[in-house]
Structure formats: structure tokens, C-alpha cells
């Protein structure tokens, strides 16, 4: 029970139904619950999220669902208030919501650039901003931000995504330095190529899949559990001396 007694809020977590392809947030919700946490799942896909939580609660898990558009500050305020009202505190925030729009720079509409930066970078900023007071009241906490290997190296297909994930990487380090003395740890996770609902369509193209497999020395793509296990480590007290770090889980891709 590595998260016994802890309360966690996870964004982008609606895809959390066993037997269906889960995202990083949905898989993390299952693992956090298994390890003793009380978990609030959030997303904008309310029907899916509510169905997932209904199944979890029927299985005896202490889970809740709340609508949260991570680009809206008032919704963050409401979400944090909901978590504290339901469970009395907030120990863990997993900033995981994300989108992806592969295209060339010259073909990219301004609104796509803004959408990527808003959901990823602004969403992480707002979540961190509003989680910190609740974590301070709880005596500390852990914020885990989902970045990407594409926030470390350039992407030939998703320049806005790379820019946004790179922003998360550096913001995480800056915020970690500011709040380390208060017992609030802030780290980023950098998944490599992994099968999730976000990548499902594109990664099933045989030629593209062969190409990214060639770039992954371990010889397979990742899955949501591979990434969520790393998130668990950063959420738990096992990583109590870890802050401002980037946990790369990529099958060796960035080692090449």
C-alpha cells in the first residue's frame, strides 16, 4: 500500500475502464487505488469518466469523478475545492491531460498552436498553482507532470506538442525549486512511444509503427502501465528526495 492514506487528483483520466485501452491517467488511477489512495478522476469526457468511476466504485474503490477543463482557472478552483471537501486534503496531483495534432509548422493554424500550449503548459501551470495551497495545508505533497520524450528531443511530426511538453519540463524544475522547502515535490514524467487512446489510430499504421519500433531499442512500444508505474513512484514517499527531476520511460529511445 504505497499510497496508503493519500488523496490524489488526476487529470485526463476518463479512459479508466479495464478491458478497454486505457490512458496514462486512467491506468494511474487504477494503480493509485490499488496502492491505498483515494482518487478523484477528472476530464472533459464526462460520460466516459462517470462510467469508469461507477465501475470502480462498484468494485469497492474510493473514487470520484469531476469535470475539469484544465485550461479554465475557475474549474481548477472548483476541482481542488471538491477534492478537499470530499476527502479533507490533497496529497498528489497528476497533471496528465493532453492532446496531439501532428502537422508541419507551415501548415499549422494558430488555434492548433494555442490549443497545444493551453492544454499542456497552461493546464500544468494552473493545476500546480491551485494545488500548492491545498498541499501546504496538508503538510506537503507531490505534483507529477506528464511531459514527453518530445519535450527533450525534437519531434519531426508534432512541433507544437514538443514545444508544449518542453515548457512543462522546464516549468516543473522552476516550480520544484520554489516549493522544495515546503515539502512539495514537483517532477515530470517523459513517456516514449506508447499505445494509448491518444495514439491508437496513428500507431496502428503498419509503416509508422515499424518506424517508431526501430527507434525504440527495447524492441516494443510502451503501454499505460509502464508509464503509470513511474508515476506511482513519484507520487509515493519512496521518492521523498526527488524533486525537479525528469523520469524518462521510453524503452531507450533517447539513449540513441
Residues 6+ apart with CB under 8 A from 124: 70, 95, 145, 168, 171, 172
SS3 53: helix
Set 161, 179, 193, 233: catalytic member: 161
Q: What residue spans of 91-188 are helical by DSSP H?
A: 110-117, 123-138, 159-179
Residue 28 grid cell: 494511474
C-alpha cell at 174: 522552476
161 is annotated as an active-site residue: yes
Q: Which residues make beta-bridge pairs with 223?
A: 195
Helix (H, G, I), strand (E, B) or coil at 136: helix
Residue 97 near residue 25, CB atoms below 8 Å: yes
Task: Using alpha carbons, select from 130, 40, 34, 126 the residue that is nearest to residue 83.
Answer: 40
- Cβ pair 251, 221 in contact under 8 A: yes
Helix axes 159-179, 123-138, angle to 10 degrees: 20
Catalytic residue numbers? 161
Amino acid at each position: 500500500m504505497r499510497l496508503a492514506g493519500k488523496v490524489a487528483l488526476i487529470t485526463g483520466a476518463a479512459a479508466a475502464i479495464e478491458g478497454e485501452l486505457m490512458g496514462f491517467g486512467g491506468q494511474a488511477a487504477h494503480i493509485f487505488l490499488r496502492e491505498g489512495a483515494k482518487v478523484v478522476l477528472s476530464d472533459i469526457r464526462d460520460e466516459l469518466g462517470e462510467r469508469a468511476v461507477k465501475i470502480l466504485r462498484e468494485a469497492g474503490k474510493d473514487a470520484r469523478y469531476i469535470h475539469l477543463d484544465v485550461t479554465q482557472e475557475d474549474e481548477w478552483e472548483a476541482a481542488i475545492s471538491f477534492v478537499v471537501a470530499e476527502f479533507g486534503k490533497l496529497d498528489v496531483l497528476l497533471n496528465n491531460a493532453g492532446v496531439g495534432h501532428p502537422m508541419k509548422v507551415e501548415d499549422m493554424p494558430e488555434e492548433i498552436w494555442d490549443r497545444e500550449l493551453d492544454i499542456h503548459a497552461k493546464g500544468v501551470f494552473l493545476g500546480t498553482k491551485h494545488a500548492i495551497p491545498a498541499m501546504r495545508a496538508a503538510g506537503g505533497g507531490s505534483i507529477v507532470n506528464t511531459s514527453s520524450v518530445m519535450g527533450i528531443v525534437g519531434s519531426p511530426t508534432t512541433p507544437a506538442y514538443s514545444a508544449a511538453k518542453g515548457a512543462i519540463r522546464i516549468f516543473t524544475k522552476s516550480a520544484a525549486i520554489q516549493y522544495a522547502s515546503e515539502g512539495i515535490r514537483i517532477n515530470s514524467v517523459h513517456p516514449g512511444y506508447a499505445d494509448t487512446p491518444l495514439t491508437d489510430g496513428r500507431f496502428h499504421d503498419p509503416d509508422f509503427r515499424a518506424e517508431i519500433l526501430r527507434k525504440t531499442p527495447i524492441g516494443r512500444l510502451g503501454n499505460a502501465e509502464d508509464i503509470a508505474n513511474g508515476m506511482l513512484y513519484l507520487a509515493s514517499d519512496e521518492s521523498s528526495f526527488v524533486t525537479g527531476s525528469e523520469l524518462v520511460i521510453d524503452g531507450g529511445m533517447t539513449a540513441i
